[in-house]
A and B are shown apart, each in its own frame.
Chain A
Amino acid sequence: GQNIDQPTEMTATEGAIVQINCTYQTSGFNGLFWYQQHAGEAPTFLSYNVLDGLEEKGRFSSFLSRSKGYSYLLLKELQMKDSASYLCAVRDNTNAGKSTFGDGTTLTVKP
């Protein structure tokens, strides 16, 4: 099975940088996702890492270390609209490719 751990809550200031960490223990690994979810809405895709290293997409970057079972999501130039829940999800290596989600990190961006 999968065990995924991420902080419950974080607070940051508008314009700043914040890093959200995710650690996982898994019986089979085939990639890690980061999603953003606003209350009452569906998750939206942010990033996917399957190899070690950093993936950059505009203000958002995601890093993966498979040997350490560790990933982080880095958000730069924070905006108020970035206040949301950020979900780390690990994809398994079965044919179905199902994803197991962490409990999410609620980020609050303050002025």
Chain B
Amino acid sequence: GAVVSQHPSRVICKSGTSVKIECRSLDFQATTMFWYRQFPKKSLMLMATSNEGSKATYEQGVEKDKFLINHASLTLSTLTVTSAHPEDSSFYICSVPPSGSNGLRSRGYTFGSGTRLTVV
């Protein structure tokens, strides 16, 4: 099955600094990856669609200059939270779609393990 590696799992940073989160597809190529944010006891909110070799597509209300997404290769997408503030503290998680309809039925979209960001 698909394996998606996300790093770091936890990070604490000071206000005003930037944090980079990596999402790697280990065993297959991913032209598309999705970045979500999750608040406590809430569901996943889609932030943006990361597209290999082109600009990311951001959801309404998500600041593209605040949350920089780079998808430079078929196996790596990064999310950089720039000039982080305490309100950016959250659980960030990436998701990779499977290739083909068989993958949808057998394993759905594969999620990274998530990154718990705390801004102090």
Q: Which residues of A contact B (CB under 8 A)?
A: 31, 33, 35, 40-48, 50, 87, 96-104, 106
Specify which of A47, A48, A87, A97 is in contact with B44 (CB 8 Å cutoff): A87
Find out whether the CB atom of B104 lies under 8 angstroms from the CB atom of A99.
no
Which of B13-21, B69-77, B80-88, B106-114 interfaces with chain A? B106-114
Given contacts A98-B49, A103-B42, A104-B43, contact A42 B108 (CB under 8 A): no
Find out whether the CB atom of A41 lies under 8 angstroms from the CB atom of B113.
yes
* Total A-B Cβ pairs within 8 A: 54
Find out whether the CB atom of B34 lies under 8 angstroms from the CB atom of A99.
yes
Find out whether the CB atom of B49 lies under 8 angstroms from the CB atom of A35.
no
Find out whether the CB atom of B104 lies under 8 angstroms from the CB atom of A43.
no
| Interface size counted on chain B using CB atoms at 8 A | 27
Specify which of B45, B110, B114 is in contact with A41 (CB 8 Å cutoff): B114
- Residues of A contacting B110 in the complex (Cβ-Cβ under 8 angstroms): 45
Closest to B105 in A: A48
- Residues of B contacting A97 in the complex (Cβ-Cβ under 8 angstroms): 32, 97
- Residues of A contacting B44 in the complex (Cβ-Cβ under 8 angstroms): 43, 87, 101
- Residues of B contacting A102 in the complex (Cβ-Cβ under 8 angstroms): 43
